[in-house]
Amino acid sequence: MKTIKLVTLAAMVSLTVGVTFTAQSASVPDEKIATLRETPLNVEPTPPAMQKVRNTDIKEVRNYPMQPPVIPHKIDGYQIDLKVNKCMSCHARKRTGDSQAPMVSVTHYMDRENNFLAELSPRRYFCTQCHVPQLDAKLLVENDFVDMDHLINADTNTNNKH
């Protein structure tokens, strides 16, 4: 049994080495490599201008159920690390009266077993893993997303016409 495993392993290693040498010897010429850079690989292109963050403080409508709310203001320089979470200086339950910011959801105070905690859950502590500020930028990809409410209303209107 041990011999069969060794022979199989040796065959796999020799195939891998053979494929590697074949791939290296049949490399693709530089001019055939397409990149997203839209410039040759040996030229450093000028980066596009940074887009401005929308800083309206106006709550945006969510596009789908359970979508994390977007951040309607700048967060440049906000410290969010193991010691400090700047977001909670406005969004913590005790601070919302002064700041007028919405309080974070109670789900942020629950552990994986749905037990309520006195402090933010470690899995919900780093806000920007789900919540992001929005940019004043043109769409990179066309979007024909239709909100669920519009679909329901369109279906209702179609059924009422018949």
pLDDT tens track for 14-53: 666 555 554 455 676 666 666 666 777 788 888 888 889 9
pTM of the model: 0.62
- pLDDT number for residue 81: 95
DSSP one-letter code for 127: G
Over residues 88-94, mean pLDDT: 94
Q: What is the mean pLDDT of residues 53-58?
A: 92
For residue 89, which amino acid is it? S
Structure tokens at 87: 């977001």
The CA distances from residue 133 to 70, 139, 143, 144, in Å, are 6, 15, 19, 22
